[in-house]
Amino acid sequence: MRILFVGDIVGSPGRQIVNDRLADIVSQRQIDLVIANGENAASGFGITPRLADELLGMGIDVLTGGNHSWTARKFWTTCRTSHACCALATFLKAPLDLARSSAPQRTGVKYAVLNLQGRVFLTPIDDPFAKPTPNSPNFPLTWPSSGRYPRRNHSEKIAMGWYLDGRVTAVVGTHTHVTTADERILPQGTAYITDVGMTGPHGGVIGMDREGIIKRFLDGTPARFEVAAGDVANETAC
Protein backbone atom coordinates (compact mmCIF):
# COMPACT_ATOMS: atom_id res chain seq x y z
CA MET A 1 0.00 0.00 0.00
CA ARG A 2 1.46 3.37 -1.04
CA ILE A 3 0.57 6.39 1.07
CA LEU A 4 1.14 10.05 0.21
CA PHE A 5 1.07 12.74 2.90
CA VAL A 6 0.83 16.33 1.61
CA GLY A 7 2.42 18.91 3.92
CA ASP A 8 0.38 21.83 5.29
CA ILE A 9 -1.57 23.44 2.43
CA VAL A 10 -1.20 27.23 2.78
CA GLY A 11 -3.76 29.57 1.21
CA SER A 12 -4.78 29.74 -2.43
CA PRO A 13 -1.21 29.11 -3.76
CA GLY A 14 -1.11 25.85 -1.82
CA ARG A 15 -4.55 24.81 -3.01
CA GLN A 16 -3.62 25.65 -6.60
CA ILE A 17 -0.46 23.54 -6.65
CA VAL A 18 -2.38 20.62 -5.16
CA ASN A 19 -4.97 21.01 -7.91
CA ASP A 20 -2.23 21.21 -10.57
CA ARG A 21 0.03 18.36 -9.43
CA LEU A 22 -1.72 15.89 -7.19
CA ALA A 23 -3.37 13.78 -9.88
CA ASP A 24 -0.05 13.31 -11.71
CA ILE A 25 1.78 12.34 -8.53
CA VAL A 26 -0.92 9.84 -7.61
CA SER A 27 -0.77 8.33 -11.10
CA GLN A 28 3.02 8.26 -11.44
CA ARG A 29 3.69 6.95 -7.94
CA GLN A 30 0.66 4.62 -7.94
CA ILE A 31 -0.57 6.10 -4.68
CA ASP A 32 -3.29 4.21 -2.81
CA LEU A 33 -4.13 6.74 -0.10
CA VAL A 34 -3.70 10.56 -0.03
CA ILE A 35 -3.68 12.42 3.28
CA ALA A 36 -3.08 16.16 3.67
CA ASN A 37 -2.98 18.77 6.41
CA GLY A 38 -5.52 21.46 5.51
CA GLU A 39 -5.57 23.65 8.63
CA ASN A 40 -4.10 26.66 6.80
CA ALA A 41 -5.97 26.36 3.51
CA ALA A 42 -8.13 29.46 4.11
CA SER A 43 -5.93 32.54 3.60
CA GLY A 44 -3.18 30.92 5.65
CA PHE A 45 -5.28 30.39 8.81
CA GLY A 46 -8.03 27.83 9.23
CA ILE A 47 -10.19 25.92 6.79
CA THR A 48 -13.85 26.19 5.80
CA PRO A 49 -16.29 23.43 4.86
CA ARG A 50 -16.26 24.73 1.26
CA LEU A 51 -12.47 24.52 1.02
CA ALA A 52 -12.49 21.09 2.64
CA ASP A 53 -14.87 19.89 -0.07
CA GLU A 54 -12.69 21.55 -2.70
CA LEU A 55 -9.55 19.77 -1.50
CA LEU A 56 -11.29 16.42 -1.20
CA GLY A 57 -12.53 16.90 -4.76
CA MET A 58 -8.91 17.21 -5.92
CA GLY A 59 -8.23 13.62 -4.86
CA ILE A 60 -7.31 13.95 -1.19
CA ASP A 61 -8.80 11.07 0.80
CA VAL A 62 -8.33 12.40 4.35
CA LEU A 63 -7.78 15.93 5.71
CA THR A 64 -5.98 16.38 9.00
CA GLY A 65 -5.66 19.62 10.97
CA GLY A 66 -4.28 21.31 14.04
CA ASN A 67 -4.78 24.33 16.25
CA HIS A 68 -5.71 26.57 13.29
CA SER A 69 -8.51 24.27 12.12
CA TRP A 70 -11.06 25.93 14.39
CA THR A 71 -10.58 29.48 13.07
CA ALA A 72 -13.71 28.83 11.01
CA ARG A 73 -16.11 27.38 13.57
CA LYS A 74 -18.31 25.78 10.93
CA PHE A 75 -15.51 23.31 10.26
CA TRP A 76 -16.32 21.58 13.56
CA THR A 77 -19.61 20.41 12.06
CA THR A 78 -17.75 19.10 9.03
CA CYS A 79 -15.43 17.09 11.28
CA ARG A 80 -18.39 15.52 13.05
CA THR A 81 -20.14 14.45 9.87
CA SER A 82 -17.36 13.64 7.39
CA HIS A 83 -15.27 10.47 7.48
CA ALA A 84 -12.74 12.31 5.33
CA CYS A 85 -11.96 15.08 7.87
CA CYS A 86 -10.15 14.19 11.07
CA ALA A 87 -11.09 16.02 14.23
CA LEU A 88 -8.30 16.34 16.76
CA ALA A 89 -8.50 13.49 19.24
CA THR A 90 -6.92 15.78 21.84
CA PHE A 91 -9.34 18.69 21.34
CA LEU A 92 -11.73 19.20 24.26
CA LYS A 93 -11.48 15.51 25.15
CA ALA A 94 -13.08 14.56 21.85
CA PRO A 95 -14.06 10.89 21.64
CA LEU A 96 -11.56 8.81 19.74
CA ASP A 97 -13.99 7.91 16.95
CA LEU A 98 -14.12 11.57 15.88
CA ALA A 99 -10.46 11.34 14.99
CA ARG A 100 -10.70 8.17 12.95
CA SER A 101 -11.27 7.99 9.25
CA SER A 102 -11.69 4.46 7.97
CA ALA A 103 -13.24 3.32 4.74
CA PRO A 104 -12.29 1.36 1.63
CA GLN A 105 -10.32 3.50 -0.82
CA ARG A 106 -8.49 2.90 -4.11
CA THR A 107 -7.26 -0.58 -3.14
CA GLY A 108 -10.25 -1.55 -1.02
CA VAL A 109 -7.95 -1.78 2.01
CA LYS A 110 -9.25 -0.19 5.20
CA TYR A 111 -7.16 2.41 6.98
CA ALA A 112 -7.33 4.55 10.11
CA VAL A 113 -5.93 8.01 10.82
CA LEU A 114 -5.48 9.46 14.30
CA ASN A 115 -4.89 13.23 14.40
CA LEU A 116 -3.19 14.43 17.60
CA GLN A 117 -2.13 17.91 18.72
CA GLY A 118 0.78 18.41 21.07
CA ARG A 119 0.67 20.52 24.23
CA VAL A 120 4.09 22.21 24.20
CA PHE A 121 3.56 26.02 24.03
CA LEU A 122 -0.04 25.59 22.87
CA THR A 123 -3.44 26.06 24.49
CA PRO A 124 -3.90 23.32 27.11
CA ILE A 125 -5.76 20.36 25.65
CA ASP A 126 -6.11 16.66 26.37
CA ASP A 127 -2.95 14.57 26.64
CA PRO A 128 -1.93 13.24 23.19
CA PHE A 129 -0.04 10.35 24.81
CA ALA A 130 -3.21 9.21 26.57
CA LYS A 131 -5.11 8.56 23.34
CA PRO A 132 -3.16 5.72 21.68
CA THR A 133 -2.85 3.42 24.71
CA PRO A 134 -1.36 -0.08 24.59
CA ASN A 135 -4.91 -1.45 24.48
CA SER A 136 -6.00 0.76 21.56
CA PRO A 137 -6.30 -0.59 18.04
CA ASN A 138 -3.14 -0.52 15.97
CA PHE A 139 -3.71 2.63 13.91
CA PRO A 140 -1.94 2.22 10.56
CA LEU A 141 -1.34 5.97 10.39
CA THR A 142 -0.77 8.59 13.08
CA TRP A 143 0.17 12.26 12.65
CA PRO A 144 0.74 14.45 15.70
CA SER A 145 0.56 18.20 15.15
CA SER A 146 2.49 20.41 17.52
CA GLY A 147 3.21 24.06 18.20
CA ARG A 148 5.64 26.87 17.54
CA TYR A 149 9.00 26.48 19.28
CA PRO A 150 10.87 23.95 17.14
CA ARG A 151 13.40 22.34 19.48
CA ARG A 152 10.98 21.76 22.35
CA ASN A 153 7.94 20.64 20.40
CA HIS A 154 10.15 18.57 18.12
CA SER A 155 11.07 16.59 21.23
CA GLU A 156 7.36 16.00 21.85
CA LYS A 157 6.90 14.62 18.35
CA ILE A 158 10.03 12.46 18.55
CA ALA A 159 8.86 11.05 21.87
CA MET A 160 5.51 10.20 20.26
CA GLY A 161 7.31 8.41 17.45
CA TRP A 162 9.21 6.20 19.88
CA TYR A 163 6.06 5.66 21.95
CA LEU A 164 4.13 4.38 18.92
CA ASP A 165 6.98 2.49 17.23
CA GLY A 166 5.68 -0.86 16.06
CA ARG A 167 2.05 0.02 16.76
CA VAL A 168 1.35 2.28 13.75
CA THR A 169 2.53 2.43 10.17
CA ALA A 170 3.75 6.03 10.31
CA VAL A 171 4.08 9.05 12.55
CA VAL A 172 4.24 12.23 10.45
CA GLY A 173 4.58 15.64 12.12
CA THR A 174 3.02 18.81 10.72
CA HIS A 175 2.34 22.47 11.60
CA THR A 176 5.82 24.04 11.77
CA HIS A 177 6.02 24.28 7.93
CA VAL A 178 9.75 23.51 7.78
CA THR A 179 10.79 20.11 6.46
CA THR A 180 13.06 18.16 8.79
CA ALA A 181 15.74 15.79 7.52
CA ASP A 182 15.17 13.08 10.12
CA GLU A 183 12.96 10.74 8.13
CA ARG A 184 13.66 7.13 9.13
CA ILE A 185 12.22 3.73 9.89
CA LEU A 186 12.23 3.13 13.64
CA PRO A 187 13.46 -0.23 15.00
CA GLN A 188 9.98 -1.77 15.24
CA GLY A 189 9.04 -0.73 11.69
CA THR A 190 7.18 2.58 12.09
CA ALA A 191 8.08 5.30 9.56
CA TYR A 192 8.82 8.66 11.19
CA ILE A 193 9.47 12.30 10.26
CA THR A 194 9.27 15.26 12.66
CA ASP A 195 7.82 17.68 10.09
CA VAL A 196 6.84 16.96 6.52
CA GLY A 197 6.90 20.68 5.59
CA MET A 198 4.33 22.75 3.74
CA THR A 199 2.65 23.04 0.36
CA GLY A 200 2.53 26.69 -0.65
CA PRO A 201 4.70 29.77 -1.26
CA HIS A 202 8.27 29.27 -0.02
CA GLY A 203 9.33 32.83 -0.82
CA GLY A 204 7.92 34.14 2.45
CA VAL A 205 8.16 33.05 6.10
CA ILE A 206 6.43 29.69 6.65
CA GLY A 207 4.03 30.60 3.86
CA MET A 208 3.25 34.18 4.88
CA ASP A 209 4.49 37.41 3.28
CA ARG A 210 7.89 38.13 4.78
CA GLU A 211 7.62 41.94 5.06
CA GLY A 212 4.93 41.94 7.75
CA ILE A 213 6.69 39.25 9.75
CA ILE A 214 10.09 40.95 9.53
CA LYS A 215 8.50 44.22 10.66
CA ARG A 216 6.98 42.50 13.66
CA PHE A 217 10.36 41.10 14.65
CA LEU A 218 12.03 44.48 14.18
CA ASP A 219 9.71 46.74 16.13
CA GLY A 220 7.16 44.49 17.81
CA THR A 221 4.17 46.29 16.29
CA PRO A 222 1.18 44.28 15.07
CA ALA A 223 1.19 43.52 11.38
CA ARG A 224 -1.40 41.87 9.18
CA PHE A 225 -0.12 38.56 7.90
CA GLU A 226 -0.89 37.84 4.26
CA VAL A 227 -0.18 34.68 2.31
CA ALA A 228 3.06 35.08 0.35
CA ALA A 229 3.36 34.79 -3.42
CA GLY A 230 5.97 33.14 -5.61
CA ASP A 231 8.23 30.10 -5.24
CA VAL A 232 5.26 27.83 -4.73
CA ALA A 233 6.27 24.26 -4.00
CA ASN A 234 4.71 21.14 -2.62
CA GLU A 235 6.34 19.06 0.10
CA THR A 236 5.17 15.51 0.62
CA ALA A 237 6.08 12.27 2.29
CA CYS A 238 5.48 8.89 0.63
Number of H helices, E strands in the chain: 5, 12
Please state, in angstroms and rounded to a whole number, the distance separating the CA atoms of residues 225 and 22: 27
pTM as predicted:
0.77
> Higher model confidence: residue 157 or residue 120?
157
Q: Summarize pLDDT for 35-46 with one digit per residue, the tens.
A: 999 888 887 777
43 Ramachandran zone, left/alpha/beta (phi>0; psi -120 to 50): left
Coil, helix or strand for 157?
Answer: helix
Which among 68, 154, 175, 177 is annotated as catalytic? 68
Look at residue 54 and tell me whether its pLDDT is greater than 60: yes
Domain ranges across the chain: 3-237
Please state, in angstroms and rounded to a whole number, the distance separating the CA atoms of residues 190 and 159: 13
Please state, in angstroms and rounded to a whole number, the distance separating the CA atoms of residues 17 and 27: 16
Band (pLDDT 50/70/90 cuts) for residue 124 is low
Active site residue 68: yes
Q: Which of 21-35, 105-119, 152-166, 223-237 has the highest mean pLDDT?
A: 21-35
3-237: which CATH architecture? 4-Layer Sandwich (3.60)
